[in-house]
Amino acid sequence: MVMLTDKQAYAAMYYFLDKSWELDKEKLLAAILSDMALMNDDKPVDLALDGDWQEAINFALKGGEAEKFTLFTRGGPPLDK
């Protein structure tokens, strides 16, 4: 088992949810959570998610980060602070 820092775990979770959203923008969080529920063998109900989760962990371990929030002003440049 690989140990992640809090920041890495958050990045992995963000990556995983972002990719899930990109694949199916109509899918609700409840459906994603249902697919992620673990069976008795500790595998997710939707077995494809196991590979998706490993991809997310690898993203985080390679230094990937959650997207930064950018606040925009009306018609102006993004605000840094």
- pTM for the predicted model, two decimal places: 0.76
Give how far Cα 60 sits from Cα of 3, 6, 18, 46, 47, Å: 11, 11, 13, 22, 21
The amino acid occupying position 78 is: P
pLDDT tens digits, one per residue of 34-72: 999 999 999 999 999 999 999 999 999 999 999 887 666
Residue ranges per structural domain of the chain: 28-63
The residue with tokens 């371990």 is 61
